[in-house]
Structures are given as C-alpha cells and as structure tokens.
C-alpha cells in the first residue's frame, strides 16, 4: 500500500521533472514537489504559478489531504508537506528529522444555515452551537438560541445539524473549537478529522454540506469561509470569548490570528480557536507548510526558503482575492524566524 503510494509519487515527480526541462524559465532548473492539504490548494496553485513566472522555479503540488501530505513528508517523497492541523508532540517525534511549521494563510470555519423565516443574521452562543451538534438543542425556538436572538421570531422547526462525513481538516478545526468551549463535547466527543458525531447527518465535502443545508429548511452545517463566501450562504454570527457576536469575514479571521499572536510566537502550533480579541471570529485557524529544518539538498533548500519568504510577504497580497485571510504582521515575523532556521548540512539557507 504505502510502497505503492511512494512509487506513484516518485513516478509523478519524475515525469513532471522530465516535462519541465524544456520550459526555458529564467535561471533555476530546480523543481520542488509538495503534497498535502486540500483547503489551501487554490491559493497555493496561484502562488506557484505567479512564482514560476517571476523566478522560473517550478513547484508541483498534490492536494491529497493533510494526512497524506504528512505521510509523504515522513517517507521523504516530497520536499515539503502541507497540513491544516499542526503536528502533535507525538507525531512530531515520529518524524525522522526535526520539522518546521510555517503558517501560510488563515481560514475560518463558518456556520451556514437555512431558515427562510428569519431575515437578520442568526446569532449563536458557543453553548447553543455545542448543543445543536450534541443533539441537545432540538428545535430552533430552544431557549439557548432564543436568548441570543432577542426580538427574532424563531420557528419551532426541528434542527438538522449537518457535519462532514469524510475525514477533513475543516472538521478538525470545528471540533477543536467545540472542545475548547464545551467541556461536555471535550469529554464525550473530542477533536479530530473525523469524530463519532452524536447527532445530525453527514455529507461529503464542503459542497455536500452546503447542498444539504440549502435543501433542508431548519438545517445548519459548517463549511470553510471561502466556500461560504463564493456560494453566498447565509452564515451565523458567533459569540466570541469576550461576548461579542462576530460576523465571519476575512478581517475578523485575521483579527483572531492576531489575538493569538503571543501564543503563536511562543509556539507556532498553538491553538487559534476561541481567540480573545474584540473583533476576533472564534473559529479561525492557520494552514501550514511543513519542511525539514535541515535540508538534504542545499539547492532545493535554498529555493524553499526563497519561496516561503516570498509567500509570506508579496504572496499575501494575492490571498484575499481567493477568500483567504492574510497573515497578521506578528505571524509574518514568527515565520521569518522559522525560515531563518532552515539549514543544509548545518549552514543557514535564507538569503534575506
């Protein structure tokens, strides 16, 4: 199984490397390969294209899912991995060499709902949200929802909680948030790419969840912010830890990351959900590129360092067009520190 995957990846890499020979780019003939998360794939492929045009460096990326990206990095078949979730201490220890986490962009998980009866945005407290996905809040006129929506005539329709049926980074961020705000959720369900959902129905992918929500009055499901924006879904305002009901947006996502800056400076893998900022949307997360601290191939390592540096500076100007939230300045500084740690055979690689 794994051997096959590795072989396939190697073949793909070899073929692509062969193809790129005649490309006649500028200086570099280095080809980098990466694999991993699907969530940042649109912005990554845009970056790789822009970067190729300006530098001639070709970067190939397979969006096979965070789990697959980590596996391939571990097996050494790719130059970098990409993951929506930071590696736990245990998983970091399983890697053959020390790994650096470089946050690239931020995203948010939003709650799309279908309630034709109400016109203003639904407001949810963390407790009401946990109750909905726990199965304890069964109808829309439940006191837990009513309390946060004064003056709104909520219908008595049954609540249908829609979750992702496939393992996904989005579920991981969402369940991490629920675990952070609800001790009950933490002890009974927990956080992972798939969990034992106590209620509701599962649908495959962002498009499955949004399709289910659009179709069923009374349903509510979680999707990526970018997906909700592109499809004009009605999304709920969520109460953050300071008590404010915050609308999910690129600005409130960046604000959430900014509010977690201190923790991120100490450890870039720190949780960014439920951040304490007045404008912080509570379900925000970073997506990472994972690289080995010490690169085998100095030429490749140098190109990786250059690309990462480019992506966290100039690259950030391209992210909002694709509905990703840009990194706050504090996190860019943290990234610069991480990139400066990249070495090959003990020699630093970063040129800046």
**200 is a contact residue toward another protein (CB under 8 A):** yes
The smaller minimum CB distance to another protein, of residues 144 and 201, is found at 201
Question: What b/e sequence results for 261-285 when a residue is b if at least 16 CB atoms lie within 10 Å of its CB, and e otherwise?
Answer: beebeeebbebbbbbebebbbbbbb
Angle subtended by helix axes 250-259 and 329-340, to nearest 10: 60
- 320 class by beta-carbon count within 10 Å (0-12 exposed, 13-18 middle, 19+ buried): middle
# of chain residues touching another protein (CB under 8 A): 35
Site for another protein in 53-72 (CB under 8 A): 64-68, 70-71
| Min CB(216)–another protein separation in Å | 6
Candidates 31, 189, 226, 311; binder of another protein (CB under 8 A) is 189
Question: What's the DSSP call for residue 149?
Answer: S
Query: Per CB under 8 A, does 81 bind another protein?
Result: no
Minimum Å distance from CB 4 to another protein? Answer: 11
29 versus 216: smaller Cβ distance to another protein: 216
The values of phi and psi at residue 235, to 5°, are -120, 150
Among 203, 280, 284, 305, binds another protein (CB under 8 A): 203
Site residues for another protein, window 1-60 (CB under 8 A)?
1
Compare residues 173 and 246 and give the one whose CB is closer to another protein: 173
Report, in Å, the least distance between residue 148 CB and another protein.
Answer: 24
Residues 219-248 that bind another protein (CB under 8 A): 219
Could you give the CA distance from residue 28 to residue 130 in angstroms, rounded to a whole number? 51
Of 134 and 203, the one with the shorter C-beta distance to another protein is 203
Contacts of 86 (CB under 8 A, 6+ apart): 101, 268, 269, 288
- Whole-angstrom CA distances from 325 to 16, 287, 329 are 31, 11, 12
Give whichever of 218 and 248 is closer to another protein, judged by the CB atom.
218
Please identify, among the stretches 47-55, 199-207, 249-257, 310-318, the one whose residues bind another protein according to the rule CB under 8 A.
Answer: 199-207
Q: Select the residue interacting with another protein from 124, 195, 250, 286 (CB under 8 A).
A: 195
Taking CB atoms within 8 Å and a gap of at least 24, the contacts of 25-29 are 25/52, 25/55, 25/56, 25/57, 25/58, 26/55, 26/56, 27/55, 27/56, 28/55, 28/56, 28/57, 28/303, 29/56
Q: Fill in the per-residue mask, 134 to 173: x = in contact with another protein (CB under 8 A), - = not in contact.
A: ------------------------x-x----xxxxx----
Distance (Å, rounded) from C-alpha 173 to C-alpha 46? 24
196 lies in the site for another protein, by CB under 8 A: yes
d(CA 184, CA 101) in angstroms, rounded, equals: 31
- Least Å distance between CB 93 and another protein? 15
Mind spelling out the 3-state secondary structure of 224-246? Answer: EHHHHHHCCCCECEEECCCCCEE
Minimum distance of another protein from residue 169's CB (angstroms)? 8
Closer CB to another protein, 138 or 347, in the complex: 138
Smallest distance, another protein to C-beta of residue 195, A: 5
The full DSSP string for 160-182 is EEEEESS--HHHHHHHHHHHHH-
Token couple for 175:
């369940």
92 belongs to the binding site for another protein (CB under 8 A): no
CB of 240 to another protein, least distance (A): 25
Q: Which helix (H) or strand (E) holds 287?
A: strand 284-292
Minimum CB separation of residue 202 from another protein in Å reads 3
> Is 180 an interacting residue with respect to another protein (CB under 8 A)?
no
Per CB under 8 A, residues contacting another protein are: 1, 64-68, 70-71, 158, 160, 165-169, 189-197, 200-204, 208, 211-212, 215-216, 219
């Amino acid at each position: 199984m794994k051997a096959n995957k590795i072989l396939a990846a190697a073949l793909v890499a070899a073929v692509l490397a062969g193809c790129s020979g005649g490309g006649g780019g500028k200086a570099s003939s280095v080809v980098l390969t990466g694999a991993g998360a699907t969530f940042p794939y649109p912005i990554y492929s845009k970056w790789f294209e822009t970067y190729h045009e300006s530098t001639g460096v070709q970067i190939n990326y397979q969006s096979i899912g965070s789990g697959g990206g980590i596996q391939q990095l571990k097996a050494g078949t790719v130059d970098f991995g990409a993951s929506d979730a930071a590696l736990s201490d245990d998983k970091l220890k399983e890697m053959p060499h020390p790994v650096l986490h470089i946050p690239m962009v931020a995203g948010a998980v939003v709650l799309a709902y279908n309630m034709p009866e109400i016109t203003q945005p639904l407001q949810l407290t963390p407790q009401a949200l946990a109750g909905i996905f726990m199965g304890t809040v069964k109808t829309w006129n439940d006191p837990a929802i009513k309390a946060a929506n004064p003056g709104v005539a909520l219908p008595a329709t049954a609540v249908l909680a829609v979750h992702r049926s496939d393992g996904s980074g989005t579920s991981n961020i969402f369940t991490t948030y629920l675990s952070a705000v609800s001790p009950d959720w933490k002890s009974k369900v927990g956080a992972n790419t798939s969990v034992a959902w106590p209620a509701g129905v599962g649908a495959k992918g962002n498009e499955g969840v949004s399709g289910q929500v659009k179709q069923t009055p009374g349903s509510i499901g979680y999707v990526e912010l970018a997906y909700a924006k592109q499809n004009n879904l009605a999304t709920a305002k969520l109460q953050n830890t300071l008590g404010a009901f915050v609308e999910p947006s690129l600005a409130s996502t960046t604000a959430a990351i900014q509010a977690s800056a201190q923790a991120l400076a100490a450890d870039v893998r720190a949780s960014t959900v439920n951040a304490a900022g007045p404008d912080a949307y509570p379900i925000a997360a970073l997506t990472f590129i994972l690289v080995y601290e010490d690169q085998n191939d100095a030429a490749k390592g140098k190109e990786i360092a250059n690309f990462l540096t480019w992506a966290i500076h100039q690259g950030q100007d391209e992210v909002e067009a694709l509905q990703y939230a840009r990194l706050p300045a504090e996190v860019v500084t943290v990234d610069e520190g991480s990139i400066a740690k990249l070495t090959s055979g003990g020699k630093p690689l970063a040129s800046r």
